[in-house]
Structure 1
Amino acid sequence: MNRRNLLKAGAALAAAAAMPFGRAQAKTPSKKTLVIVSHPYPESSTFIKGLQQAAETVEGVTVRNLETIYGFDTRAVKGDEERRIMRAHDRVVFIFPTHWFNITPMMKAYLNETWGSVGPGLWQGKEMLVVSTAAGGNETYGKNGRVGVELADVFLPMKASALHCGMTYLPPLVFQGVRSSELANYQQQLIERLTQ
């Protein structure tokens, strides 16, 4: 991202942060929701940081940023602690940028340590929502795009993980061809999904 675009993105993020959707205005979700956030390059994050800020405005939502808690050490994730936190919630929301058509390295480490080797049905009755951003638009995703699949379909392994664990996999909330001018709209869409 060049300096001009970086400045524009920063200005859009600052404007979005000043949006009037504070804690007092956001509805409380009907389910106890855990939001797991990850970005492999947090210093350059605009959209994921903005989505995390939006999630933090929703009363009763627990937000955990993996890089803030564990840094970039994929072996540092404390599986027992993360399972304890997960058990206390009805729904888990994963927020991350699409990283080479996949989840981020820290999110993979989280799943390995928190969900791995525990067995099927681990999270029976809970829900999973994937929220992701991608710079590529229709030229990349969709049946006429370069990869030939929808962005939401890139996360089939997440759906398989949810079903293996006994969860309900909710329709993903994905933003492709992301633009700084749309950040407030993305934040509002996330808040609406978190309060359903």
Structure 2
Amino acid sequence: METIVVVAHPRLEDSGTQRFLKEAVSDLNYVVWHELRVNSAGHFDKIAEKNNLRDKDRIIFQFPLYWYSAPALLKQWIDEIFDMTDAAWLQKKELGIVVSLGQPLREYRLGGREGIALSELLSPFKAFAKYLGMTLMPLFIVEQFSYQNEKQHQKLMINYQQFLELPRAFDFDQKQRWFENKLKQKLETCSENKGDLEKILEEFTERHDQLSDLKNEINLIRRKDDYYGEP
């Protein structure tokens, strides 16, 4: 699956959040990082921008929440690039939204400081996807990045990479396989601590197999209960 991350930020060079996310995709083979920049005339090259999207299965709009919406740069890009005929080639593509917040997510709800849900603020993207026949993915929210500690950053990186690479409705088994593949890729390029990584991979795979066996046993028990009418 090919993914493109369309990044719209009014001050991209100053954003630690975007630098972190860009580094997170640096070793993802099927993800393209695309920063929106206007030309000398203040516009976008419509043909070039569309060509960037055509062969992608998943399109990600990534931006900070800016005055309760996306930055004007993304709105300009949408206005200049898309038209009514684009439904023909955008159908069945996935649309994902990655939005970063400067304040806690809990404030974006009824009774919170903002008093309105984040999904409601970003509902125009739902209409955009519906009109063009695209499948809208669940929101990916980066909450107060600058206040997160190292452990939270590591978790964010993993969740973000999975959001970009895994199927929209991935299950536990697909998530485990993803981890295994990442460890194997790390082993191929790693020159130090290779023995430790091999041990981690072996233990991880063993636990995955044990969980799979347990899951199969539980499913078998459930089928027997259904057959014999057990409560």
TM-score bin, normalised by smaller chain: 0.7 to 0.9
Residue 3 of structure 1 aligns with which residue?
Answer: none
Letter in 2 for 1:97: P
Name 2:134's counterpart in structure 1.
167
Amino acid at match of 2:30: G
In structure 2, the partner of 1:124 is: 91
TM-score by length of 2: 0.64
Query: CA shift at 1:101, angstroms?
Result: 1.1
What is the CA RMSD across the aligned residues, in angstroms?
Answer: 2.1
The offset of 1:143, in angstroms, is 2.0
1:162 Cα offset (Å): 1.0
Amino acid at match of 2:12: P
Q: Per-residue deviation at 1:51?
A: 1.2
Deviation beyond 4 Å, 4+ runs, structure 1: 119-122
Match of 2:32 among 62, 65, 70: 62
| Structure 1 residue matching 2:107: 3-state secondary structure | coil
Q: SS of 2:43's equivalent?
A: coil
Match of residue 195 from structure 1? 165
CA 1:119–1:63 in structure 2 vs 1: closer, same or farther (change >3 Å)? Answer: closer
Quote the residue 2:2 is aligned against.
32
| Residue of structure 2 in register with 1:93 after alignment | 60
Q: Which amino acid aligns with 1:133?
A: S
The equivalent position to 1:155 in structure 2, one of 117, 122, 126, is 122
Task: Output the TM-score relative to the length of structure 1.
Answer: 0.74
- Stretches of structure 2 that go unaligned for 5 or more consecutive residues are 167-231
1:67-91: CA deviation from partner (whole Å, max 9, x where unpaired): 3xx37x7842111111112111111
Mapped contact 2:109–2:118 kept (Cα < 8 A):
yes
User: Which amino acid in 2 is paired with 1:44?
Assistant: D
- SS of the residue corresponding to residue 133 of structure 2 reads coil
Q: Which has the higher contact order (CA 8 A, sep 6+)?
A: 1
State the 1:130 CA deviation: 0.1
Question: Aligned AA for 1:150?
Answer: A
Q: Using the aligned pairs only, state the percent identity.
A: 24
1:189: how far off?
Answer: 1.2
Matched letter for residue 155 of structure 1: L
Displacement after TM superposition at 1:188 (Å)? 1.8
Tell me the SS of whatever aligns to 1:39: coil
